[in-house]
Amino acid sequence: MKRFFKWVFGAVDVALIAVVTIVFVRACDARHKPPLQAWHRPLPGEFRAADLQPNTTLADYLRREETLFSEMERTVMTPGPPTVKGRLSRYSIEGAVNPLRFDKNWNHTYEMVPAGDVRGGVLLLHGLTDSPYSVRAEAEIYAREGFYALALRVPGHGTVPGALTEARWEDWRAAARLGARAVRARVGDKLPFHLVGYSNGGALSVQYALDALGDASLPRPDRVVLFSPMIGVTQFARAATAIAKLVGAVGAIPYFAQSRWLDIQPEFNPFKYNSFPAFAGEQTTEITRAIQGEIETAASGNRIRALPPILAFVSLEDSTVETWSTIDALFGHLQDNGSELVLFDVNRSAVAAGLLEHSYDDRLAALLASRDRHYRLDLLTNARAGAPEVVVKTLDPGSVEAHEMAPGLAWPPQIFSLSHLATPFRPDDPLYGIAPDLSKDYGLRLGLLAPRGEKGVLSVPIDQFMRLNCNPFFSYVEAKILEGIAVPVPAVAR
């Protein structure tokens, strides 16, 4: 027995030494990342969960936000003529992508008020590292249809990436609650209230809808619209975050400060961070675990029946979040409440199909053949093998009979799939579009960038420019949103 315990403790010692070695090797390797800048440090005074009180108003939130942006301008922005690299830095005062130079800085919380009578209200929540700019197209749709739209800047966003070294998911949840309260107060109790969330904002929207089932103080949404919702993250992301958490602990030592960051990149996007701290990755793991637990609890107690209809848009291929978590962990538990899942297939035209790493056929076939499906499924896929034109195959809840509709759309040349980034953006988006609106200029046309050259030359990983930034099928997305807006909501649902 003594020999056994000696072997066990010896194995533990070896494992511990191996882990410590890996951590310090990774920490030392992080020293080769670019040096940290002023924007990699957090700003004081960000909204925290403890700041949400019964009498906290949107005006309070906005005053704090203005103070944050003033502090950023005073302590972070680089004055004087920009260097060559500084021309494409959002933190260079005279840089082309400095959002402070634009007519409107979309990093702030903003409201859109319809011109005529208000028909309802909507709270829009953006994604991780993003800003309220990412839900601008949806806010415009709702405002055009008579809804008061509030696009809330979630804590830790829109200012400096260093803010995400401190922002916790509980802070994001508190902000979402404040935003929902503000929308309901603005439109009153009798008008419909919708939630729209992209990526992490989608996670917050689902979490809020679940929380509202058991908390009478939270205004209950009448409809939830999701874009690439973060219901689960990929196994690779979870593993990378776990390692980064250990390595990041070493980052408390100034010499290893860079090890607290998974990515340190030039900040050339005016409305999205490019650098990403390990702590933010930890928060994604924690919030997805919490949400999946809430979904299962609501399903086991049958409270999930009371959820409002959910309309979700997801890409079959998504390297940021796990698409099948949305399908299985969320939609798989829904009851027949009018929910709908729009799934964008990969491009199966002749050239693209021959280069795809996965066929996805088996899992898709199982989904289409399932009668235990309590939601409507729309699969947007190629009309026929080898052709770019698409059709929408619609299956009603519990049905395996697909009805086809031709939306008059096709895959653009050289695009083999959508991406996590693409779903909420119009093709004519001035920053991300493949056919950008040239009347607006935000310093770059990221949707048009397709650099060619030798690998290792650019300071930014080339895959940054490979991902599709807009949705070529957005006209279909807009039509589905409009359908949901047009559906009357019974007063009892509120």
Q: Domain ranges in the chain? A: 104-232+301-493
331 near 229, Cβ under 8 Å? Answer: no
The pTM of the whole model exceeds 0.85: yes
Q: Tell me the C-alpha distance between 83 and 19, whole Å.
A: 42
Predicted pLDDT at 8: 46
Predicted pLDDT at 450: 82
Kindly state the tokens that stand for 398.
């519990």
Q: Tell me the C-alpha distance between 245 and 286, whole Å.
A: 12
Q: Is 141 helix (H, G, I), strand (E, B) or coil?
A: helix
How wide is the angle at C-alpha 53 spanned by C-alphas 47 and 59, nearest 5°?
60
Q: Tell me the C-alpha distance between 244 and 344, whole Å.
A: 32
Predicted pLDDT at 18: 45
In tens digits, what is the pLDDT along the chain, a chain of 494 residues? Answer: 556 545 545 544 544 454 445 445 455 555 457 899 999 999 999 999 999 999 999 999 999 999 999 999 999 998 877 776 668 899 999 899 999 999 999 999 999 999 889 999 999 999 999 999 999 999 999 999 999 999 999 999 999 999 999 999 999 999 999 999 999 999 999 999 999 999 999 999 999 999 999 899 999 999 999 999 999 986 655 555 555 556 556 555 655 677 889 899 999 999 999 999 999 999 999 999 999 999 999 999 899 999 999 999 999 999 899 999 999 999 999 999 999 999 999 998 866 666 777 777 888 999 999 999 999 999 999 999 888 999 999 999 999 999 999 999 999 988 999 999 999 999 999 999 999 999 999 999 999 988 888 887 887 887 778 889 999 999 999 999 999 999 876 544 45
Predicted pLDDT at 238: 54
Rg of the chain over Cα atoms, rounded to whole angstroms, equals: 23
25: exposed, middle or buried (C-beta count within 10 Å: 0-12, 13-18, 19+)? Answer: exposed
363: exposed, middle or buried (C-beta count within 10 Å: 0-12, 13-18, 19+)? Answer: middle
Predicted pLDDT at 254: 59
Contacts of 289 (CB under 8 A, 6+ apart): none
205 near 235, Cβ under 8 Å? Answer: no
Q: Tell me the C-alpha distance between 494 and 489, whole Å.
A: 8
Q: Tell me the C-alpha distance between 112 and 123, whole Å.
A: 11
How many residues are there in the chain?
494
Task: Tell me how far CA of residue 149 lies from CA of 43, 112, 124, in angstroms.
Answer: 28, 5, 7
**The CATH number of domain 104-232+301-493, selected from 3.40.50.300, 3.90.220.20, 3.10.105.10, 3.40.50.1820:** 3.40.50.1820
Residue-wise pLDDT for 355-391, tens only, equals 777 777 888 999 999 999 999 999 999 999 888 999 9
Q: Tell me the C-alpha distance between 137 and 118, whole Å.
A: 19
Predicted pLDDT at 242: 58
**Which residue blocks in 136-277 are alpha helix, DSSP H?**
136-144, 169-187, 200-213, 235-250
Q: Is 413 helix (H, G, I), strand (E, B) or coil?
A: coil
Kindly state the tokens that stand for 433.
């579009």
Helix 200-213 with 278-300: angle, nearest 10 deg: 30
